[in-house]
Structure 1
C-alpha cells in the first residue's frame, strides 16, 4: 500500500495532477476520500482542517512526516505535531503580505476619509458632510508595526509611499527595510505613545500572549487606531473593550480573535468604534496560485531528500 498525501488546501485540478506527477510513489487523496483505515498511511498533509473531528483523526496519523500549512501562523496545528522531532511543519510566510497590507491601509484610509460616516448617511438618504476637522492626512503620521517580517515590511513600504514615519518591533530590534526606527520587543514601550496607528502582525507565541493589555492601551494616544491582523491571542480583549468604551483610543480594527468564529454574544460586536472582519485580510482571488508553488518546491525536495526546504517552522519559536 502506498503512503498518502492528504490534500486539504484549496487546489485546482492541474495542481492535483502536478502533485501526482512529482510524488509518483504516493497516493493523493482529498479529505472526503480518506478512510479511517488509511490513517497510518498519511505521510504528508497539504493544508489543515481545524475541526475537532479532524484533529482527533490526525492524532492517529502515526506515519506523518510533514504538514504544509497555507497560513503564516501555525498556532492552530496541534502541539504534538509542531513540537515533534519527527514531523516537519512548513508555513506560507510571504504570500499574505500584499493583501494583508492593502487591507491595513483600507482600514486606515476609510477611517481618515470618513467613508464609514458617508456610508451611514447614504443608508438614510442624507447629504450629510462630516466635520471638516475630522478628516486626516497620512503625511507625517507615525505607524508602529509589531512584527517586522514579510507582512510588516510590506506595511512599512506602503506607509513610506504616504510619507509616513515607520517604526518597527521585532524580537531583536535588528534593522529592517522601510523602517525608520526599530525596537526590540522588550524595549518597545517608549514607541507606543509616538504612534498614530499601531498594527499587530506578530505570530502567536508565549511572548505575545496578551501583549496588548490595559497598560499598553493606556500608553496609546487618544487619537490613535489599533489594528490586529496578527493573532487574536495577542490582545486582551476585555482591556481593548474598556479602552474603546472609555474613548482611551480612537478606534480599532480586528480581523483575528481569541475565539473564532467570534461568538454572537461577544460584547465586541456592539462597540461603535470597532470594526470586525472575519479573519479575511489575507484572502485574495488567486490564493491557490500563490500558495501552491511553496508546497510544490517543498514536495520536490521532500521526494529527493525526505525533508522540505522552504518556510520550515522552528518548533521552539512557533514560526
Structure 2
C-alpha cells in the first residue's frame, strides 16, 4: 500500500504515521511528482494541486483524502469517471472558524478597530460607539458542524440563532431552523448574517442585491463559506450604498483579492485572506480523521468518514 502526501507536514506528524502504519509506504513531497503519483494507491492533498492529467497518471489511485473542506478546484468529473473515493476533513474547521467569527463580531461590536486606530495615532478618545452582542439575532446560513459551533458560542452570549438549511429540519444550537428557500423572509430579522455554505451550482451567486436590501441597516454580513456566494460587484454596490453596517469577508470570487479591487478601499468591510480556519493544530486534526479511515481501508472497509459526492461538491 502506497500513500502519497502532496504536501509536507511536520516531521513529528510524519513519524507518527510511519510508526502507526509500518506496512504502509508513505511519501511526502511539497509538490506532485508524476513518477510517485503513478504508483500511489491513496493520495492525501489539499485539493488545489490536481488536474485531469494527474488523474490519468494515477492509474492505481482508489482513494483521495482531501485535507480541506472544499473540492471545487479538483478535477471532479475525471475523479468521478474513475469511481475514486473522495473524503475530506469536514468538521475540523469548526473550532478555529467559530473563534474567528466570534472574534470579528466582538471586534465590531466593541469598537476595537476604532480603539486600535486611535492607539496607532496616540489619540485618547472614548467615543467609539460600542454596542452589545447579547440580545442580537444571528442568521446562520448552513448550520452544519461549523454553524452549530458558531451557534453554541453565540447562544452563550444570549444571541438568538436562526438556521437555514436545505431541509428545514432542526439543527443543533439553533433556536429555530427554516429552509434555505426562506432566506428572504428571515433576513430582515437578523442583526448578523453568517454564511458557511459550500460552493455548488445552487449556492453560486445565491445572495443578490435584493437580499442586501432586505437586511437591516445595522446588520453585519459575514461570508466564511465560498466567495462565489455573492457577485463581487453586487457586494461592492451594497457596501457603497450603506445597505448594511459592515461586511466581514474571509472568501472571495478571485483569490488572492486583486490589488485594484474596490473592496480594499471601502471602510465598511473587513478583508480576511481566507485564513479563518488556520490553526497550529490544523494538520493534527486532519490526521485524527485520516488515521482511523486508513485503518478501515487497510482492512478492506471502504465505509470511511466524510465521504463526498464529488460531482455535487460536498
Note whether the superposition's TM-score is higher than 0.5.
yes
Moved more, 60-69 or 196-205: 60-69
CA 1:33/1:116 → structure 2, altered by over 3 Å: closer, same or farther? closer
Matches within 5 A, 1:220-299: 220-299=215-294
Contact 1:141/1:165 (8 A) holds in 2: yes
CA–CA distance in structure 1, aligned partners of residues 106 and 32 of structure 2: 46
How far apart are 1:290 and its partner, in Å? 1.2
Indicate the RMSD between aligned Cα atoms, in angstroms: 2.0
CA–CA distance in structure 1, aligned partners of residues 30 and 116 of structure 2: 43
Residues 1:69 and 2:80 aligned together: no
Deviations 1:143-181 (A, max 9, x none): 000001000001111111010110001110110121111
Aligned with residue 101 of structure 1, among 93, 98, 108: 98
Contact 2:4/2:37 (8 A) holds in 1: no
What is the TM-score with the length of structure 1 in the denominator?
Answer: 0.91
Aligned with residue 13 of structure 2, among 6, 12, 15: 15
Contact 1:142/1:197 (8 A) holds in 2: yes
CA 1:35/1:239 → structure 2, altered by over 3 Å: closer, same or farther? closer
Contact 1:81/1:87 (8 A) holds in 2: no
Paired position in structure 1 for 2:208: 213
Contact 1:39/1:57 (8 A) holds in 2: no
Deviations 1:275-317 (A, max 9, x none): 1011111111222221111011111111111525101112353
CA–CA distance in structure 1, aligned partners of residues 196 and 298 of structure 2: 33
Matches within 5 A, 1:135-174: 135-174=130-169
How far apart are 1:204 and its partner, in Å? 1.1
> Runs (4+) of structure 1 moved beyond 4 Å?
21-26
SS of 1:305's equivalent? coil
Aligned with residue 77 of structure 2, among 64, 75, 80: 80
Provide structure 2 residue ranges, at least 5 long, that are not aligned to the other structure: none
CA 1:101/1:10 → structure 2, altered by over 3 Å: closer, same or farther? farther
Aligned with residue 110 of structure 1, among 103, 107, 115: 107
Aligned length: 313
Contact 1:22/1:300 (8 A) holds in 2: no
Aligned with residue 34 of structure 2, among 26, 36, 44: 36
SS of 1:45's equivalent? strand
Contact 1:214/1:236 (8 A) holds in 2: no
SS of 2:222's equivalent? strand
Deviations 1:84-113 (A, max 9, x none): 452111111111101111111111111011
CA–CA distance in structure 1, aligned partners of residues 54 and 91 of structure 2: 27
How far apart are 1:18 and its partner, in Å? 4.0
How far apart are 1:197 and its partner, in Å? 0.3
CA–CA distance in structure 2, aligned partners of residues 290 and 263 of structure 1: 32
Contact 1:226/1:251 (8 A) holds in 2: yes
Paired position in structure 1 for 2:172: 177
CA–CA distance in structure 2, aligned partners of residues 312 and 292 of structure 1: 15
Paired position in structure 2 for 1:309: 304
CA–CA distance in structure 1, aligned partners of residues 173 and 30 of structure 2: 45
Contact 2:142/2:163 (8 A) holds in 1: yes
CA–CA distance in structure 1, aligned partners of residues 282 and 7 of structure 2: 10
Residues 1:122 and 2:122 aligned together: no
Contact 1:83/1:315 (8 A) holds in 2: yes
SS of 2:51's equivalent? helix
